[in-house]
Structure 1
Amino acid sequence: MPRFYISPESATLDVGVALDLPATIAHHVAVIRLKAGDTIQLFNGLGGAYIATLTEIGKKHASAEVKLFIPEETELPYALNLVQGLPEGSKMDWIIEKAMELGVTSIQPVAAQRSVVKLSADRADKKMAHWQGIITAAAEQCGRNRLAQLHAPVSLNSWLAQQDMHKRIMLSPRAETSLADWARHHPPQAISLLIGPEGGLSPDEEQAAVRHGVLCLSIGPRVLRTETAGLASIALLNGIWGGM
């Protein structure tokens, strides 16, 4: 069943409501050749999803009537904030998409010493809009009814200085304890997982993180790429704590 996200600001979703679908969704409906009477699923990020029937489809518009509310959720049993050192090129797109599929609650891009990408205010705004679109599309695809919160990029030092209610963990090949061993001996809990950019975090950055109470753990004997390390860690936690 095709799934579409509708922001709470653009339309009210409730059983019995008839609504005009946003232009982007109407275009998608036309592209995949749906017709009046077909069933679609709508969600607004506030929890649950709605079954709706298409009532009218035109060249540039479409309307639907909401028939049923489904309260089911596919969220992780713990909150997970991915703190990702900004990588080069389109790697961040890939990381955000796959992190959404794996269930992260929020995503915090950070600029580290070895980050190649440097975002000006204007570029950051454009990137944020682009990344938000990836989050929405990933939620539509993977069946999540809630969107991960996307935070504006900050420097690593700024993030370290913030007060965080989550347990903060960073991955380092120099750590003596593995994330898997730690997770097996601790109950599921809210985590902020810090991943360095290409080349990892510098020794100075790792030392600064430890001074701020960040726990240093490893992902295993192999050195993983930045676009692999975070996703592998999330999958590992899902496997040990549940959520896969």
Structure 2
Amino acid sequence: MSLHVHLVPSLAGVSAGAGVSVEGAEAHHAVAVRRLAVGEPVQLTDGSGRLATGSVVATGKARLEVLVAEVAEVPAPSPRVTVVQALPKGDRGELAVEVLTEIGVDRIVPWAASRSVAVWRGERAAKSLAKWQATAREAAKQARRAWFPSVTPLASTDEVAALVAEASLALVLHEEATSALPASVPDDVLLVVGPEGGLAPEELEAFAAAGAQTVRLGAEVLRTSTAGVAAVAALLARTPRWG
């Protein structure tokens, strides 16, 4: 059975025989919620490709001391997958972030599409972004990921178009598209998922001008919170990551 993963700020320079302290909320969860005790095995990650396996040697109210037995460097996943997720209503945004993280997405970009029902402004924007980032962090631990995804600040349509132009392959999910997902996947893929109200014509034009291809998943029309998950799973099944 795989070990539960706990996040630490850095594992740079850590080697077998070293001690690592886990502090704050992460340690509290391990000790008070998961009831980790002295002698139990544990795995730590810094979310940037380093994994340290060891055993608990001491615990406190918000402290966990781990004696490292082994350190591993995990290569960055390839292909790298970015999902631009239009803001869904209610808690569907967190649902999308959670499952996208679990299946291996590397970057999630919240997008203020013109037809998005949800709106992030001012204090709400900061709180909503923090919630998406926390959701991704917890989902990455649940999925035992060595590389945690980034969740960027809210992007405008112009900023998404710039990301499209930078990607090796940019795909826009659209129910009226005539093309299916490509059979081959390059090292850098960007997927745009529109809002409940659909993509506006000017958004489609901007993304096409930046080099994006419109694709559809089939006859069914999926919710914005699940469409990206289905598309990424289909894409990754064509790559060594899921091969």
Q: Which residue of 2 aligns with 1:42?
A: 44
Matched letter for residue 98 of structure 2: E
Measure, in 1, the Cα distance between the counterparts of 2:212 and 2:55.
49
Counterpart among 66, 69, 79 of residue 68 in structure 2 = 66
For residues 24 and 13 of structure 1, what CA distance do their matches in structure 2 show?
22
Cα deviation for residue 115 of structure 1 reads 0.5
Q: Moved runs in structure 1, 4+ residues, more than 4 A?
A: none
Q: 1:219 maps to what in 2?
A: 217
1:40 is paired with a residue of what secondary structure?
A: strand
Supply the distance in 1 between the matched residues of 2:187 and 2:37 (Cα, whole angstroms): 45
Determine the structure 2 residue equivalent to 1:190: 188
Deviations 1:154-212 (A, max 9, x none): 11233214541332110111111111xx2x1x343311100001122123321232222
Q: Which residue of 2 aligns with 1:177?
A: 179
Quote the Cα distance in structure 2 between the aligned partners of 1:161 and 1:47.
28
Any idea what the Cα deviations from partners look like across 1:33-88, whole Å, max 9, x if unmatched? 22111110000022131012111123343222112113346x64301110111111
Ranges in structure 2 where 5+ consecutive residues have no aligned partner: none
Q: Answer whether contact 2:168 2:186 (CA < 8 A) is retained.
A: no
Partner of 2:104: 103
Structure 2 partner of 1:230 = 228
In the aligned structure 2, how far is the partner of 1:230 from the partner of 1:101?
A: 12
- What residue in structure 1 maps to residue 26 of structure 2? 25
- The alignment covers a number of residue pairs equal to 238
Q: CA RMSD in A?
A: 2.0
Taking the aligned partners of 1:72 and 1:150, their CA distance within structure 2 comes to: 21
Indicate the percent of aligned positions where both proteins have the same amino acid. Answer: 29
SS at match of 1:100: helix
Take 2:190 and 2:118, find their aligned partners in 1: how far apart are those partners?
22
Determine the structure 1 residue equivalent to 2:200. Answer: 202
Distance of 1:178 and 1:120 partners within structure 2: 35
In structure 2, the partner of 1:138 is: 139
Report the 3-state secondary structure (helix = DSSP H, G, I; strand = E; otherwise coil) of the residue aligned with 2:119: coil
1: CA distance, partners of 2:47 / 2:212 = 31
- Distance in 2, matches of 1:121 and 1:14, equals 43
8 Å Cα contact 1:39-1:52 kept in structure 2:
yes
1:152 and 2:153 correspond: yes
SS in 1 for 2:166: coil
C-alpha contact (below 8 Å) 1:14/1:66 kept by paired residues: yes
Change in 2 beyond 3 A, CA 1:100/1:143: same
Q: 1:23 to 1:13 in 2, by over 3 A?
A: farther
Q: Which amino acid aligns with 2:134?
A: G
Partner of 1:243: 241
Quick one: which amino acid aligns to residue 211 of structure 1?
A
Tell me how far apart the structure 2 counterparts of residues 155 and 59 of structure 1 sit (CA, whole Å).
43
